[in-house]
Amino acid sequence: MDFRVVDFVRNETKIFTDSDLNMEPPGNSNMALAKYTTSVNVGSAINALSLCQNSNKIVVAGRALLKIYEAEPQNQLKEIANLHMGRKQGLNMSSSDVVWSSKDENLIATAATNGAIVVWDLNAVGRNKQLAVLSDHRRTVTKISIHPKESTRLLSGSQDCTMRMFDLRKKESTGMFQSKADGVRSVEFSPFHYFMFAASFDNGSVQQIWDYRQSKTYLSQFLAHKGSVYTLNWHPDEDERNKIATGGRDNIVKVWETGTSHNKQISNIPTSTSVSAVRWRPSHKDQLATVSMMLDFSVNVWDLRRRFVPYAYFEEHNDVTTGIAWKQNDPEVLFSCSKDGTLVMHAMQDAIQPWKKIKTRGLDVGSRGLVLFAGEDSNIPARAQSPTGSGQNKLPGLFGWGVGKQDPEWAGSAPASPTTMDEIISETFVDDGFVYAAKHYLLNGPENDMSFRKLCEHNSNVAAKLGEFSVSRVWLILAEFYNSVVLLKQKMTSNFFPVPKTCSDATLDGTKRTENETKRNSVIRLQNTVVILLESLSVTFIQVEDYLTDIARGRHSEPDFYISDDENGLWGGATSDADFMYTQEWSLMGRVPTEAFEKSHIDAPSGMTNDSEAPKQKIITPHGGRWYETQTSTQDSSSPPTPTSMDQNSDPLATAFHVNVTIFTLTRYLAESGDVQTPVSILVAISSYPTNVTLEIPEAEAEHWFNSYLDLLFKHELFVQHAEVIKLSRLPSIRMLSSSSTIHTSCKVCQRRMPNSCSWSCDHRSKPDHKSPVLCFLCKKVVKTLYLYCQTCSFGGHLQCMQSW
């Protein structure tokens, strides 16, 4: 029996498609045209809609409304009939639901809030097309359904807790089904199970499946939702004939697999508002559309494989959407009606598809070089076909609609997905450079009988090996600066770097230029290194490169300066000299560190304000005209805008260049950028030599660096290095660390004072953990008096033992 019916339906479908094709003019452009979203305002709030069998006519019903619209091929909705005419309005006309007969195109039934069911015959002659009024229900009829095969069999569900079967030919009730539960919210014939229908109820917890031949009791019932189950829908596809979707006040859409013995929930979709209607999308086994009872006016289309975000949604309505229906032979079209009085024909291609905006991967670069990545596990296959079919999907195959992990609530029977879909991987840069550097830096020059330059070069190599090229440069600069100052034996007392002096001297005497040239070059080189250092610290390598080329060009252009200088001759000698410029910069760097960075023009055409002012000032000077020309020519050759600096500070005393402050700036910079190792190592290395070079570092700051570094060394268990740093430090507070001792006057476990000096244990000596006294690690005897121990490794013992050791 069943089988034959199914066959029949198949043929029917075929006929529809044929007629559909005949109806629509051939041609792709027209096909595409037929899929645009279009809407029509019907005049008043719509409560329900229904499509006729071939889906080209739509009936809409409301409180005083019953109209029929036709979907025209030209993408328009045209009103073809208004059944709400005449004065006979009454309560029978206040429709809560409407249904179009499945087979008979002229038969429509409406359900009224007063309990009446009105049957309409569209073929009837005259204005009154009412065929029958069935007023068996005592309260509001919430839902009616017409049998998919027998177009005269109508089922109704009502708030009076009953469902009734009507024969529209007899115009009378043929059967009644007691819900034994609560008001009926929804009834629907199964499209494929000939005798079966499902009903849902206000008390929500029960969803019943009936065989209408047995009016006594239902086939099965199960708990579906918390609160009212407002809607249910059988899947329209034959392959999915056992699937029912339900939606209710608990904001959840649930999908059930109905069977003869038991009904099983196979999926759920948590929506954000209560669900007033749910409709499966034809020929899509995993998609359904829902509308909400309040708050959310949009029509959402969900995909069960991506339960948490709608697959698509439509936002045409601006009041509560009351009904939805898919075009039966075209799943790309969805009709919806709303309290705002509009009937909309949606085209799926116009839907907003939020998943397109989803970022499916998370990425974060955290502290400590950690890279975090969150994504899907690759062994979940991406869906081969995009849910909408090709063409609309912008990223085919990329957006993996992976199968989510099953809800634990009902995962029991289903085999849990073995894959961990969501995993986070952290990657880290393995960094043991610190330990390596700590072990290999040479800090005590004199002990190793090394010159300061050698020591610096060694340390520079160590840093270079670690790839810390900036640190490596620092060491080289240090060697450059202090080689003449820091000697194995105390000789030098000057804190001043000699080169700038000679430079400024030289500028006054033009004959020394060649000699000067080389020195200048060395200064330039130094500056290069400093700049590289700073740049690489701030890690913008591109600028370094730019700068290097600038410097290179700058060198070429420098003779121009000389020429102009000589020609003008009056520009205060040193002020316009390129060499002086550099010394100027150095002095600036020494005095006003941050400003000096500016002057070292990390970017060739730096946007400093004085840059623009500078040329103006020059024009004002007596020799301005020509000087300005040369100035611009050099700038054109992309020379760094160094000349600008001379205008502000032409104080010749500034030539005195204080290296120490520069080094201080460097070390402080390093320390601030998170590297205490280098500054401390530099300080220790310098102080290991018997010089009186003192860096003007505030003691507190230096002490802070030392403490941090010592702490780090301790944590890495580098006790030897720890001790060495303490030993070589010149800071009294740090040195103190190595020269302290402790006398135990209390139990080391309970902190209780020792009873007397003769005892080596506290009163709780009976307890095992209090028993162990302080032992000398050399002679393994109890230390009763003076306990001397290393602050670093905390080994210690008798003073005598220590001394002998």
Partner 1 sequence: MVSVINTVDTLHEDMIHDAQMDYYGLQLATCSSDRTIRIFEVKNGTQRLLSTLQGHDGPVWQIAWSHPKYDKMLASCSYDRKVIIWKEQDGQWNKLHEYNDHDSSVNSVCWAPHELGLMLACGSSDGSVSVLKHHGDNQWEATKINNAHTGGCNAVSWAPAVVPGSLIEPPSQNQQNNFVKKFVSAGCDNLVKVWCEKDGRWEEEQKLQAHTDWVRDCAWAPSIGLPQSKIASCSQDRRVIIWTCDEATGGQWSSKTLNEFDDVVWHVSWSLTGDILAVSGGNNKVSLWKEKLDGDWSIVSDIKKGQQGSTE
Is the separation of the CB atoms in 165 and 176 below 8 Å? yes
422 binds partner 1 (CB under 8 A): yes
Taking alpha carbons only, the member of 265, 288, 304 closest to residue 411 is 265
Among 7, 319, 427, 432, binds partner 1 (CB under 8 A): 427
Q: Rounded to an integer, what distance in angstroms lies between the CA atom of residue 619 and that of residue 481?
A: 38
Is the separation of the CB atoms in 158 and 115 below 8 Å? yes
- In angstroms, give the least distance from the CB of 205 to partner 1: 23
Is the separation of the CB atoms in 355 and 400 below 8 Å? no
Q: Rounded to an integer, what distance in angstroms lies between the CA atom of residue 278 and that of residue 184?
A: 16
- Residue 635, CA distances (Å) to 142, 233, 604, 628, 632 in order: 85, 78, 10, 10, 5
Interface residues for partner 1 in 644-703 (CB under 8 A)?
673
Q: Rounded to an integer, what distance in angstroms lies between the CA atom of residue 312 and that of residue 64?
A: 32
- In angstroms, give the least distance from the CB of 267 to partner 1: 12
Q: Give the Cα-Cα-Cα angle 319, 323, 329 (nearest 5 degrees).
A: 130
- In angstroms, give the least distance from the CB of 544 to partner 1: 6
Closest to partner 1 by CB, 321 or 792: 321
Closest to partner 1 by CB, 444 or 540: 540
539 binds partner 1 (CB under 8 A): yes
Q: Which residue shows structure tokens 């009016």?
A: 215
- In angstroms, give the least distance from the CB of 600 to partner 1: 8
Closest to partner 1 by CB, 597 or 789: 597
With both helix axes pointing from N to C terminus, report the angle between 433-440 and 677-688 in degrees, rounded to the nearest 10. 0
Range list of H helices, 27-86: 28-33
398 binds partner 1 (CB under 8 A): yes
Neighbouring residues of 698: CB distance < 8 A, sequence distance ≥ 6: none
Q: Rounded to an integer, what distance in angstroms lies between the CA atom of residue 298 and that of residue 318?
A: 8
Stretch of 6-14, 127-135, 150-158, 535-543 contacting partner 1, by CB under 8 A: 535-543
429 binds partner 1 (CB under 8 A): yes
Taking alpha carbons only, the member of 696, 757, 707 closest to residue 729 is 707
Interface residues for partner 1 in 611-630 (CB under 8 A)?
611
Closest to partner 1 by CB, 110 or 649: 649
Closest to partner 1 by CB, 643 or 796: 643
- In angstroms, give the least distance from the CB of 419 to partner 1: 10
Closest to partner 1 by CB, 72 or 595: 595
Among 172, 238, 545, 567, binds partner 1 (CB under 8 A): 545
Q: How many CA atoms lie within 13 A of 556 on its CB side?
A: 12
Closest to partner 1 by CB, 383 or 765: 383
Closest to partner 1 by CB, 588 or 684: 588
Closest to partner 1 by CB, 356 or 525: 356
Closest to partner 1 by CB, 124 or 382: 382
Interface residues for partner 1 in 325-354 (CB under 8 A)?
354
430 binds partner 1 (CB under 8 A): yes
**φ, ψ dihedrals at 543, nearest 5°:** -70, -35
Stretch of 114-122, 384-392, 488-496, 539-547 contacting partner 1, by CB under 8 A: 539-547
Among 80, 124, 176, 424, binds partner 1 (CB under 8 A): 424
User: Beta-carbon neighbour count of residue 651 at 10 Å?
Assistant: 10
Q: Rounded to an integer, what distance in angstroms lies between the CA atom of residue 730 and that of residue 713?
A: 18
Q: Rounded to an integer, what distance in angstroms lies between the CA atom of residue 591 and that of residue 500?
A: 14
Range list of H helices, 673-747: 677-688, 699-715, 719-728, 732-735
- In angstroms, give the least distance from the CB of 605 to partner 1: 5
Q: Rounded to an integer, what distance in angstroms lies between the CA atom of residue 84 and that of residue 704?
A: 89
Tell me, residue by residue from 181 to 200, as one string, x for binding to partner 1 by CB under 8 A and - for no binding.
Answer: --------------------
Q: Can you read off the two tokens belonging to residue 313?
A: 């949604």
Closest to partner 1 by CB, 155 or 604: 604
Interface residues for partner 1 in 355-394 (CB under 8 A)?
357-378, 394
Interface residues for partner 1 in 594-613 (CB under 8 A)?
594-595, 597-598, 600, 602-608, 611
Tell me, residue by residue from 298 to 327, as one string, x for binding to partner 1 by CB under 8 A and - for no binding.
Answer: --------xxxx------------------
Is the separation of the CB atoms in 584 and 649 below 8 Å? yes
Stretch of 14-22, 173-181, 220-228, 403-411 contacting partner 1, by CB under 8 A: 403-411
425 binds partner 1 (CB under 8 A): yes
**φ, ψ dihedrals at 375, nearest 5°:** -165, 180
Closest to partner 1 by CB, 121 or 595: 595
